[in-house]
Each structure stands twice: as structure tokens, then as C-alpha cells.
Amino acid sequence: MVKCLIDADVLLYEVGYAAESSWRYSHPNESKEWYADNPPPWDKVFEILDNRISHIEMACEATDPSLFFFTSPNNFRTKVAKRSEYKKRNNSKPYHYKNIKAYLKGTYEHVEFDGLEADDSMAIHQCSVGLDGTTIICTRDKDLRQVPGLHYGWELGQQPSFGPAYVQGYGQIALDDKRELRGTGSKFFLAQCIMGDPVDTVPGLKRGAGAKAALNVVGHTQTYAEGLQAVREAYKGVYGDRGDEELLEQAQLLWMVRKMENGVPVMWDFNYEE
């Protein structure tokens, strides 16, 4: 028994923009005004969406109907972020964004927890029922690979596929051929605490502390306790007595919530033990 836990947020943008690109490719001589008045037809969007879902389920050898996860309009991380506004970025959406969302919600079983991102909801679900390999997190978002259990990421453009693969224990990190950091497990989470996440406007240790810095701080460590101590020392080196305070903020922004207690997400703190 295998159920795909699919990141619907990724599909909303990926499928929507893919349909627009395909539409422009098939009408290369039209003006911007024409495209504005003539969006991609729904049948083109549906074809791309259906193909993507089928590809994911086949790659994961799914046996049960997929479960789709959406981000809530509210987000607990906006109150956590102090050094930099969380996810301060362009909010433009593809034309069929709302249509794709309505179709998925009307057709498939789905989850949307108030205050949580799709990432957190997938992590909570997998950690509560799927660590035996009966669920598999399906997304191109590499941040989720800190979560234990099965994972799959489909190929798109120059971004390679990942898995299906089982993430467990402290994990590993390494630079890819583009000198970007890739990894799994809590070791990858600690590396993110150094380099941050520009896409979500999470600054990390400090401006300019990228993949190489993360590898230098965390790469040699063999256990979570050893890695955490190395990260704490790095933060203390930059912020002095405020090191733990600054680290706590960044870690809570980057940590994928694994469980809820009384309806409240349990966030990372220094007492977490792997």
C-alpha cells in the first residue's frame, strides 16, 4: 500500500505556467494584448495537470488514491520572522491558478490546515502514519527532504528528479555539479540554518553565508548533536550572546512541523532530540 502526498501548491504554479508557455509556443506571432484576452483553454491545462499527476503516481508505484496538500491563507511563520519578512516576494499567479485549485479540491481528497503551509501538513501526515513506507511525499521543493520517510521529486527543466528514496537518520549534504547544496535529514536542516532560503526570504546565519559556508560548518559532523553545536558556535561567532536567539528564529522558519498539540504546531527548539 502506497499513497502519494502531493504538494498541490507546486502544481498550481507549475501547471498554470506550463500551459501558458505551451499556448504561447503554439501562437508565436500574437501580441501581449492578444494573450491577455485569449488565455490557454482549460483542456490544455487539464491535459498537463492530468499527465503530471499520472507521472507522479506511476513513478511512486502508488496503489491508493493520492492526497493533495494546500497552504492555508494564514501562516504562523509570519509572526516568527523578525529579521526579515517571511516570503516577501512577487505574488503573481498564472491565469488558471484558481481554476486548477478548484478542480483539485473538487476532484481529489485534500488537506489544508489553518495556519500551516502545505509543506508542514505533508510532514505531519507522513510522520504520523507513513514512516513505514505507506506514504511518499511528492514535491519538487527540496526543503521537505529534511523529513523522514519516502520522498519523490519529479524532473523539470534543469532540476533533476529525486527518488523515490527513503530519508532517515541524520542524513547527508553535498554540493551538486552547479555548486548548490543538496541533502537530506536533519543535517540538511542544520545546513539550511547557515545558508537560509532566499526563495522564502529566510536570511540564515548572515548575508553571503551560502552553500560553501554551510558545508564548512556542518559537513564534517556525524550526529545531530554535533551538528547543532557547530551551528550554535557559528551563530555565536556572528551574534555573540544573541546567537541562540537568532538561531531559534531562523530554525523555526526552516523547520518542517512534524506534529500538532492541541491544534498548535510544535516548532523546533533546542530541546529537540533526533
Of residues 105, 99, 108, 93, the one with CA closest to residue 44: 99
Of residues 151, 227, 215, the one with CA closest to residue 186: 227
Q: Calculate helix-pair angle for 42-59, 8-26, nearest 10 degrees.
A: 130
Check residue 123 and give its pLDDT.
97
Check residue 274 and give its pLDDT.
83
DSSP 21-54: HHHHHHSTT--HHHHHHSPPPHHHHHHHHHHHHH
Strand partners of residue 19: none
Instruction: Please give the average pLDDT of every successive group of 10 residues along the chain, which has 274 residues.
Output: 96 96 91 89 96 98 97 93 87 94 97 95 95 96 96 90 95 90 96 94 91 96 98 98 97 96 94 88
Grid cell of 34 as nine digits:
492578444
Check residue 131 and give its pLDDT.
92
Cα dist. 11→97, 115, 195, 214, 237 in Å? 9, 20, 26, 30, 41
Q: Map residue 101 onto helix, strand or coil.
A: helix
pTM: 0.94
Cβ neighbourhood burial of 119 (10 Å; 0-12, 13-18, 19+): buried
Dihedral angle over CA of 231, 180, 144, 234, nearest 10: 10
CA distance 129 to 32: 48
Check residue 89 and give its pLDDT.
76
Residue ranges of domains in the chain, CATH in brackets = 1-168 (3.40.50.1010), 170-274 (no CATH)
Pairing type for strands 260-261 and 149-153 reads unpaired
CA distance 95 to 20: 8
